[in-house]
Amino acid sequence: MDDRTMQAVLYDRYGGPDVLYVGRVPRPEPGPGEVLVRVRAVSVNGGELAVRSGRLRLLSGRGFPKRVGLDFTGEVAALGTGVTDLVAGERVWGVVGRSSGLGSAAEYVAVPAQRVGRVPDGLDLVEAAALPVATTAITALRDKTRLRPGERLLVRGAAGGVGNAAVQLGRSRGAEVTALARAANHDFVRGLGAHEVFDHRTTRPADLGRFDVVVDTAGTDLLAFRRLLRPGGRMTTIAFDLARPVSSLASIAASTVHGRGRVRFFSGNPTRADLDDLARHVVEGRLAPAVDTVFPLEEAAAAHRALEHGGVQGKHVIRVA
């Protein structure tokens, strides 16, 4: 096999999971300030499903083939010029930069050195692939809402990748954690440390009481959950309503000047410092990976289908053999 190429998950048109296939693309070389990583595993993220389906085609464009994969774990295979703080063979995790688009579901990925961090010793690289997304939960609680001990925290989508991390971190920070998840996932979410768990499909927001902090991963009915904030409460979301993106984003923007409590929207884009903070949380026992199912690279379509079906407990992971 030509060592100038590699396997990667691709698609040639927008559509359902079945548009995904494994093909061959040029193997990247690390540029100045970049690291070439031999990928061992990636996780499946909700944003990838939205791009692949075409719901965000105004942003993702019409150029094909396109690739999938946002985060990754693996080993350093080569260093670009100017990179002196990593060595070949080190175990790392990270994300592809926003300017690069998606593409970590492949045998190799070249990324800026500041987008990777060292994986803690003893942590399996496949399990570790469930954790880079947890940097989003860390940012939400540490920077966006500044969660304090004793405060009441509500997590929407508590069984998913960001949600399960927010539950774990909220409990470790001394908050009283209330979680929303489908009924089949309640035991899982309680095991993460939630004090109370409610079925998101049958519970009305108004029945939940008041909260100091709301962390949202769903992007729908944001104003209804914003009304649950106590005076001085803070709410952040990592999603918007894909069925009506313009009005959803407009309502988020309007929350900065109207009504009680601003809804802060952000998209995780971790740096080395964030990934190092993630490693500290793992080493100190405040955060553990939650892997639902592991799929081989050639079953990437099945991994996407599983996430679309719902009911995930943690993350679906794709192993890159």
pLDDT digits (tens, 9 = 90+) for 106-119: 999 999 999 999 99
Who has greater pLDDT, 63 or 313? Answer: 313
Contacts of 234 (CB under 8 A, 6+ apart): 144, 145, 146, 212, 213, 214, 261, 262, 264
Give the pLDDT band of residue 257 (cuts 50, 70, 90).
very low
Q: Is pTM beyond 0.75 here?
A: yes
Residue 56 · residue 31 · CB < 8 Å:
no
pLDDT on residue 264: 86
Give the pLDDT band of residue 56 (cuts 50, 70, 90).
confident
Give the pLDDT band of residue 136 (cuts 50, 70, 90).
very high
What architecture is domain 134-265? 3-Layer(aba) Sandwich (3.40)
Listed by start position, the domains of the chain span: 5-132+270-319, 134-265
Q: Are strands 196-199 and 176-181 parallel, antiparallel or unpaired?
A: parallel
pLDDT digits (tens, 9 = 90+) for 281-311: 999 999 999 999 999 999 999 999 999 999 9
pLDDT digits (tens, 9 = 90+) for 139-185: 999 999 999 999 999 999 999 999 999 999 999 999 999 999 999 99
Contacts of 241 (CB under 8 A, 6+ apart): 219, 220, 222, 247, 248
- Per DSSP, which regions of 86-239 are E strands? 91-95, 108-112, 116-118, 152-156, 176-181, 196-199, 211-216, 229-237
pLDDT on residue 246: 46
- List 112's β-bridge partners, or say none: 34
CATH of domain 5-132+270-319: 3.90.180.10
Rg value, the chain, Cα? 19
